[in-house]
A and B are shown apart, each in its own frame.
Chain A
């Protein structure tokens, strides 16, 4: 990714965008920063990784997605009662992460174990790298400090809504190129579809409740920042764990 593409800021807006214009602007804020195009994702899709790289991915990914219900709970706590649909969406999203089916982090750990690491290693926060720690901290900060529509934009539109496009590219090679069983990779299968709906409902909340030019502008800025954070996180996995292996060869 060209460096400029990571640092371009949106023009400040002084007029409220229509919902259609705002949706297009939100979609554009992610473009050029999609994590599916980061080096680790590309190597994954091209069948170039080894099981130990997936193990390191899982040991990092757990600390980004593991607290997702916590992030949402902070947003929930400062969403006003009159925004009932937004509150319900957040609560349902939390419930689906944790309770409605197999707990999502347990599916992640199942995959990690198939890659040769252990539950203990995955849950040990000392095994995440610095960029993952930064992404996790950013998610907490946004969830605690931003207006609920802006935080939803950042975490659900900027981050979660990218998941289907990432995992649709990464799921087939897990089975076909890397030889995992369907059971091992259920984490990905589940998120391909559940995050389509979370992403769509997230867009609706943001379109409905970011209803001033300032909130729209802030949402766009944080969607852009979220996409950059996820891109940087994914790229750092390659830089930290894959590139040194390639150099050694």
Chain B
């Protein structure tokens, strides 16, 4: 049975052979505490560093490529965008927040966007 190891929270979750499962969904179901927010490839809050098992992960689609850019080449993936079909191990910073201001809404008036940016991003991110 393949296993996803969420190393940072010390969680290991098995899934059935032949399945491919969403990395964030499995983490939520099993309380593995991967931080997340939008679940749609927009904020980057759920980025994980793949320590092992790259070959068992789905190819990144457009939203993930656009959101992560060069980070993809450095071994980062977005848990919400990634399907797993075999063993892998991932780590993350438990306190990480959204990647940058691109995480905020693209359709709201500026004032609302500013409020969201303040709420979503940590002080360091907005400095």
Contact = CB atoms under 8 A, between A and B. Distances in A.
Given A102-B106, A196-B80, A189 B38 contact: no
Nearest to B78: A193
A194 B62 contact: no
A101 B36 contact: no
A197 B38 CA distance: 9
Nearest to A191: B40
Name the prevailing secondary structure of the B interface residues: loop
B107 A103 contact: yes
Interface in A150-202: 164, 182, 186, 189-190, 193-194, 196-201
Interface residues of B, number: 20
Interface string B26-48: 00110000001011111000000
Interface string B10-33: 000000000000101100110000
Contacts of B105: 99-101
Interface in A61-105: 96, 99-103
Q: Classify chain A: how many residues form its interface, as a range.
A: 20 to 34
Contact of B22 (A100, A164, A182): A164
Contacts of B40: 96, 100-101, 190, 193-194
Contacts of B25: 196-197, 199-200
A186 to B, nearest CB: 8
B108 interface: yes
21 contacts: A96-B38, A96-B39, A99-B107, A100-B38, A100-B40, A100-B105, A101-B106, A102-B107, A182-B62, A186-B62, A190-B40, A190-B63, A193-B22, A193-B63, A194-B80, A196-B25, A197-B24, A197-B25, A197-B36, A197-B39, A200-B29
Interface of B: 22, 24-25, 28-29, 36, 38-42, 61-63, 80-81, 105-108
